Chain A
Amino acid sequence: MNTVNSAVLDANTGWLILAIFSVLWIFLGWLWGRKAKQLDDFMLAGRNVGMALGIATAMATWVTSNTTMAAPQLALQLGIWGMLGYSLGSVGLMLFAPLARRIQELMPNGYTSGDFIRLRYGKTAWRVFLVISLFYGLGWLISLGMAGGVLINALTGIDYQLGMSVILAICVTYTMLGGLRAVIGTDFVQTIIILVGIVLLAWLAIDRVGFEPMHLAVLEERPELLNLLMPAAIMFLFNNLLFGVGEIFHSNVWWSRAFAFRRDVGFKAYMIAGIFWMPIPIVAGFIALATPALNLNIPAADMVGPMVAAKLLGFGGAVLVFIIVFSALASSLDSLLAATSDLVLQDIYRGHIRPDANKEELRKAARWVVLLLGMITWLLCLPRLTTLASMLYFTGAFVASTIWPIIAGLYLKKASSSGAIIAMLSGTVLGLWAYFAIGFYVAALVSAIISMAVVFFSMWLKPEQFEWARLNEISNKQAGVKFS
């Protein structure tokens, strides 16, 4: 058996690539973001994002380092269903397409997902939702920041703290410079790099190894990977589907894009992004099945992608994987930074501290919020506590509890405030219980089922008659309704 060193590139090459792409992202962020003078430009890219940038930003944000690194890992651990299960993450994007259209219709002047919960269900539900959403946002930020340091270290040998600091600093810099305009602009370039990169890797795997020898070697050494009735993998598929839907439906990352896209773009952009995203985990993951045929010994399952690439392509393959992973990390980190900062700015700063703040003041505060959030993330990532990274797994129970309050809140007048609050709280608590008592693969499932039951039971027990016009805050203000 051949054993490839765990660091597939030397540190000098790693630093060179980091330097080149850091300069590129910051320059592009500045270039596209310099016109973001007004609050709506900074927070929502001017509310006029077109189709190409809309599809690319939805795709790039959903392609995290997890997709590019964990898809091969899952293929190695769970086989065919691992890849297919991961690709079902795209269902969340497609299901959000009609919601994006509805959000634009109901809230043409909205800023965050928190705005919707506040206007639809009132202050208490808003605060419960903010705890869930900020917990999830911070959990994802820490997970990505740590993943950046760990992956840079694993691929190049560069110290974890240095690598993590560099990637966070780059994303914070260009997000501060141009807000969502910078994020969406760089997302387009990052999407093209990721897509071309994984196509090249998959193509080479097919060319150098071939389907038949690959299939034969897996059948001899790891036949369970080709088994369509692998129980753990089937459970993973359903949990991943619901976790993904919960993540997308509640997170301000996706709501801010719904507000930012041009009126005719939202539905199509999310739908096409979902279709284009679906095959990515299969293309990125399938190269792991080449491992037995290549006679590779994989010391850590999460390094299977880079190792197969290095084996197939040598130095060039390792460089390519590093660029793909770096692009995937940056495209998600910047989006999350921008969207979580929007939530902090609009729902915490304006909502709880300075309700009378004007747009100019908010525009100035927006940059400081991005910087503050970046620094908090950096501090929490610094000690490399794996318990913090695993925090993201818990959030399945939290986010899945918001699915039904959001769907019902957007489409059903009868959905009530008390029902939404109890649904989010009980879904989260029982989802967490299921996580510890049964396993991670049922947390989101239990949370979503409980939340759904509570939402519909409360509608039957004590229905409300909500007026959709109350969601349009500009009209409310003209009618004399205060912010909170």
Chain B
Amino acid sequence: MMVSSEFLSVMVTIALSITIIAPIVLIILWIKDWIKGQLW
């Protein structure tokens, strides 16, 4: 059962999208925590 080119592209695109979003979310959360004085 061979994986198609479409399957590969969809799988990698979803993974890449989450990995792009992750640092953005982390930085936004860091700023929110910092403003509220809740980093530590």
Q: Which residues of A contact B (CB under 8 A)?
A: 45-46, 48-53, 55-56, 59, 80, 87, 181, 188, 191-192, 195-196, 198-199, 202-203, 206, 211-212, 214-216, 219, 223, 226-229, 262, 272, 275-276, 278-280, 282-283, 286, 289
Within 8 A of A (CB), among B2-35: 2-5, 8-9, 11-12, 14-16, 18-20, 22-23, 25-27, 29-30, 32-33
Bound CA span A48–B12, Å: 36
Asked if A279 contacts B2 (CB within 8 A), the reply is no
Which 7 A/B pairs are nearest by Cβ-Cβ distance?
Answer: A279-B15, A52-B29, A282-B15, A215-B5, A52-B30, A50-B33, A211-B9
Given known A-B contacts A219-B2, A228-B2, A52 and B39 have beta carbons under 8 A apart: yes
Q: Which residues of B contact A (CB under 8 A)?
A: 1-5, 8-9, 11-12, 14-16, 18-20, 22-23, 25-27, 29-30, 32-33, 38-40
Chain B residues, CB < 8 A from A56: 26
Chain B residues, CB < 8 A from A48: 40
Chain A min CB distance to B4 (Å):
8
Kindly count the residue-residue contacts between A and B in the assembled complex, taking CB atoms under 8 Å apart: 102
Asked if B20 contacts A278 (CB within 8 A), the reply is no
Given known A-B contacts A45-B40, A283-B19, A80 and B3 have beta carbons under 8 A apart: yes
Asked if A199 contacts B16 (CB within 8 A), the reply is yes
Bound CA span A278–B33, Å: 24
Which among A191, A211, A214, A280 has the greatest number of chain B C-beta atoms within 10 A? A211
A279 touches which of B14, B23, B25 (Cβ 8 Å): B14
Chain A residues, CB < 8 A from B4: 215
Given known A-B contacts A50-B40, A219-B2, A226-B3, A195 and B16 have beta carbons under 8 A apart: no
Asked if B5 contacts A195 (CB within 8 A), the reply is no
Asked if A202 contacts B30 (CB within 8 A), the reply is no
Which among A55, A195, A289 has the greatest number of chain B C-beta atoms within 10 A? A195
A202 touches which of B14, B16, B38 (Cβ 8 Å): B16
Given known A-B contacts A55-B29, A279-B14, A181 and B40 have beta carbons under 8 A apart: yes
27 contacts between A and B (CB under 8 A): A45-B40, A49-B40, A50-B38, A50-B40, A52-B26, A52-B30, A52-B32, A52-B33, A56-B26, A80-B3, A192-B27, A195-B23, A199-B16, A206-B12, A211-B12, A212-B5, A215-B4, A216-B5, A228-B2, A272-B25, A276-B25, A279-B15, A279-B16, A279-B18, A280-B15, A283-B12, A286-B8
Which A residue's beta carbon lies closest to that of B29? A52
Which B residue's beta carbon lies closest to that of A81? B3
Which B residue's beta carbon lies closest to that of A284? B19
Asked if A191 contacts B8 (CB within 8 A), the reply is no
Given known A-B contacts A192-B26, A212-B5, A286-B12, A280 and B19 have beta carbons under 8 A apart: yes
Chain A min CB distance to B30 (Å):
4
Chain B residues, CB < 8 A from A214: 8
Bound CA span A433–B31, Å: 51
Chain A min CB distance to B29 (Å):
4
Describe A's contact surface by its main secondary structure.
helix
A53 touches which of B5, B12, B30 (Cβ 8 Å): B30
Asked if B29 contacts A196 (CB within 8 A), the reply is no
B18 touches which of A80, A278, A286 (Cβ 8 Å): A278
Which among A227, A262, A282 has the greatest number of chain B C-beta atoms within 10 A? A282
Asked if B18 contacts A275 (CB within 8 A), the reply is yes
Which among B16, B38, B40 has the greatest number of chain A C-beta atoms within 10 A? B40
Asked if B39 contacts A50 (CB within 8 A), the reply is yes
Asked if A262 contacts B38 (CB within 8 A), the reply is yes
Bound CA span A80–B11, Å: 10
Chain A residues, CB < 8 A from B25: 272, 276
Chain B residues, CB < 8 A from A198: 19
Chain A min CB distance to B40 (Å):
6
Asked if A191 contacts B40 (CB within 8 A), the reply is no
Taking A48-B40, A202-B12, A226-B3 as known contacts, 15 extra A-B pairs with beta carbons closer than 8 A to each other, sorted by chain A number, are A49-B40, A51-B38, A52-B29, A195-B19, A199-B16, A211-B8, A211-B9, A212-B5, A215-B8, A223-B2, A227-B2, A228-B2, A279-B15, A282-B12, A289-B8
Chain B residues, CB < 8 A from A212: 5
Chain A residues, CB < 8 A from B20: 199
Chain A min CB distance to B3 (Å):
4
Chain B min CB distance to A296 (Å):
19
Which A residue's beta carbon lies closest to that of B6? A211
Which among A52, A198, A202, A282 has the greatest number of chain B C-beta atoms within 10 A? A52
Chain A min CB distance to B36 (Å):
8
Chain A residues, CB < 8 A from B23: 191-192, 195-196
Chain B residues, CB < 8 A from A276: 18-19, 22, 25
Chain B residues, CB < 8 A from A227: 1-3
Which B residue's beta carbon lies closest to that of A56? B26
Which B residue's beta carbon lies closest to that of A287? B12
